[in-house]
Amino acid sequence: MKLIPFYLISILFLITACHSTVSEYVNWSVYQGGKDSNQYSQLDEIDVSNASNLKVIWTYSSGDADTLKNRTQIQCNPLIIDGILYGSSPSLKFFALDASNGKEIWSFDPFAAEGYKQFGMGVNRGLAYWSDGSEKRLLVTAGSYLYSIDANTGKVDPQFGKAGKVDLHQGLDREVGDLFIVSNTPGIVFKELLILGSRVSESTGAAPGHIRAFNVKTGEQAWIFHTIPFPGEKGYESWPKNAWQYAGGANAWSGFSLDEERGIVYVPTGSAAWDFYGADRKGENLYANCLIALEAATGEHIWHYQFVKHDLWDRDLPAPPNLISIEKEGKKIDAVAQITKSAQIFVFDRETGEPIYPIIEEPVPPSKLEGEQAWPTQPVSSLPVFSRNRMKEEDITRRSPEAYAYVKAIWEKLDEGPHFIPPSENGAIILPGLDGGGEWGGAAFDESTGDLIVNASEMPWILQLLPHKATDNTPIGQGKQLYQSYCIACHGADLQGGDMFGAVPALANLKDRLAQPQIIATIQKGKGAMPSFEFLSEEQTQAIAAFLLELESEKNLEAILDKGSTYPYFFNGYKRFKDQDGYPALTPPWGTLNAVNLNTGTISWKVILGEYPALSKQGVKATGSESYGGPVVTAGGVVFMAGTIDEKFRVFDKSNGSLLWETQLPAAGFATPATYAIDGKQYVVIACGGGKLGQKSGDTYVAFAL
């Protein structure tokens, strides 16, 4: 027997000891789990047999929720990389946590940065991460700025842009002044490029939503794709001649998917602005409402498909598409699947854009509004819808005789029909509503089953345009017309506020609460989710304040109304169609979780998702509810889902949708979960920010494990 020298034994011991202290990680390193946007994890420690044993492992509270007025949210799908969680708070502070215990490592407040100019904060849905092995950077947006943050320290990179930030107003090939431009959803990293979209105004006078790529090290703009084409570019003929100089929207606000091997980025875009009336944008309006395949390195156009032509319904593509592989007729196909607000699914060949399942071009009704020219046909997918898309008489609520009578009296006066009933003075029923259907939480895809798993809200909305009436030239008169153009959509015709972007405050009797300088400052700078309206003139801002404060004046103003406020119509506000007690106007289910098999083109299963707590107390439980945020599916056979107004987190069996476990959260988790592992232990974390649909605001991240 040959003896091993003592010094070799010592070395072997040290190597073994050191190896045992090296942690092993399974990361969630990209928004929605991967650049394919499939919200899928290979982790399987949490499975069908043990999901009911989940426990809270840690919580983290940032301490900056608006718990008084409940106007803040957290929509963030955090990143977890090598044991560190990166997320954002209700007031858009970014932070790093130890992902094993929730202890804070660092925090960064972009709004405290020197030289920051307020344009409204908006919300944040996630972060982008880049590393070359030595440097680690988080690329995040807050307000109108893109920041590069050192992932180790939370400090901005002074070599990026100007003192660590890039102003998104710059480089759009058009002067946009102080128009509203933010980016709620993270960009996607390709090599040393960050490809980024934007959220812009959905009203008149909006900025264009061109797609851009920035160098991750310097912040320099590398390329731009004009979603409202310039002269000589493909699609230019689908707009009025000079639209490239004034039209807005057609923006990619919901994120991207990236096929790194092919070097193709897939871009879903939203409606052209103004959302509901397009007399000044006659034509199909490419590249609004499109899925666009671009060369990720250069921004060159490869192919596109337009889902809504000349959109009048705010039918933005609400989520990044899923990059999937399916089997159809014995052949494996690399495909891209896009969910829509109208609860349809469209599937295309990734390289060519050819539809995998047939698309039918259906005739639709013409518009009755002055000057409007609705497009005569619209595409409809042959795949099954995952939500009802028409509210017939038999769909009217039967919750009580009183509710039925209340809703039917309204229903009889509204325009009702299949897809694409155009907006009208009468009011049109939109189902699914203006939020969808499918929404920004996205869909999860499980290649082992071929199932696309997506949550759906089944809430009808009322879309109504009303004619502008002649107004006098007093500050109140002109302020009222400006209010109808820029403010009524969120704050309502009756000044009572709403819940479109969270808890929108009421403005009735504002003179009892605020002074004129405070109102003018808020209009100019924005506040919370409210964007800045700094593009309005001083006279226009003062006129809106005069209307809100009921400031009588004998002084007449010169004509201060702009193009937007002299349109023949104004939007009568974001209105969910509800009964007299505030419940959806149609029969349940009001929210579902669905699995659609993209190998066979059939629905695998559908289950009710969510409850209304007040109805549950009355014994009415199987209703479902609206939901925000999306599902995550895993190799362990489970689906993680929050997002409902009952403030619960749930785990489902991915094979049939059966509920395995549920628990109460400190506030509603209107976000997509993330799952990760440290040393073989699987965690799942959800941001609990509430603040939508009348729910209380929160500031907590909750992590669960076995």
The total of other beta-carbon atoms located within 10 Å of residue 7's CB is 8
pLDDT at position 203 over 90? no
Q: Both ends of the chain: CA-CA distance in Å?
A: 47
378 three-class SS: strand
pLDDT of residue 115: 65
pLDDT of residue 212: 98
489 three-class SS: helix
How far from the centroid of its chain's Cα atoms is residue 444's Cα? 15
574 three-class SS: coil
Contacts 24+ apart (CB under 8 A), 239-244: 239/281, 239/283, 239/285, 239/286, 240/280, 240/281, 240/282, 240/283, 243/281, 244/174, 244/208
Residues 6+ apart with CB under 8 A from 588: 608, 622, 623, 624
Q: In this structure, what DSSP letter does residue 281 have?
A: G
Question: 421: which 2 tokens?
Answer: 């009933």
The total of other beta-carbon atoms located within 10 Å of residue 569's CB is 23
Q: Could you report the per-residue pLDDT of 617-640, keeping only the tens digit for each?
A: 999 988 999 999 999 999 999 999
Average pLDDT over residues 504-530: 78
Kindly report the pTM of this predicted structure.
Answer: 0.92
Q: What are phi and psi of 112, to 5 degrees?
A: -95, -5
Q: Could you report the per-residue pLDDT of 9-29, keeping only the tens digit for each?
A: 444 444 443 433 458 999 999
Average pLDDT over residues 48-56: 98
Q: Name the one residue in this structure whose structure tokens are 């403030």.
A: 647
Please tell me the number of Cα atoms within 13 Å of 673 on its side-chain side.
29
Instruction: Tell me yes or no: is domain 469-566 CATH 2.40.50.180.
Output: no
pLDDT of residue 30: 98
Q: Which residue ranges does the chain devote to CATH 2.40.128.630?
A: 26-77+435-459+588-706
Greater confidence (473 vs 704) lies with 704
The total of other beta-carbon atoms located within 10 Å of residue 553's CB is 11
Confidence of residue 130 (pLDDT cuts 50, 70, 90): very high
pLDDT of residue 562: 66
Three-class DSSP labels, 81-137: ECCEEEEECCCCCEEEEECCCCCEEEEECHHHCCCCCCCCCCCCCCCEEEECCCCEE
Residues 6+ apart with CB under 8 A from 277: 312, 369, 372, 423, 465, 567, 569, 571
Confidence of residue 563 (pLDDT cuts 50, 70, 90): low
Q: Which residue ranges does the chain devote to CATH 1.10.760.10?
A: 469-566
Indicate the CATH number for domain 26-77+435-459+588-706.
Answer: 2.40.128.630
Question: Can you list the positions of beta strands (E) in 525-625?
Answer: 569-571, 575-576, 591-597, 602-608
405 three-class SS: helix
Contact 298, 305 (CB under 8 A): no
Q: What are phi and psi of 547, to 5 degrees?
A: -65, -45
pLDDT of residue 13: 41
Note the residue count of the chain.
706
620 three-class SS: coil
Q: Could you report the per-residue pLDDT of 443-491, keeping only the tens digit for each?
A: 999 999 999 999 999 999 999 999 987 677 777 777 787 887 778 778 8
Lowest-pLDDT range of 214-218, 502-506, 543-547: 502-506
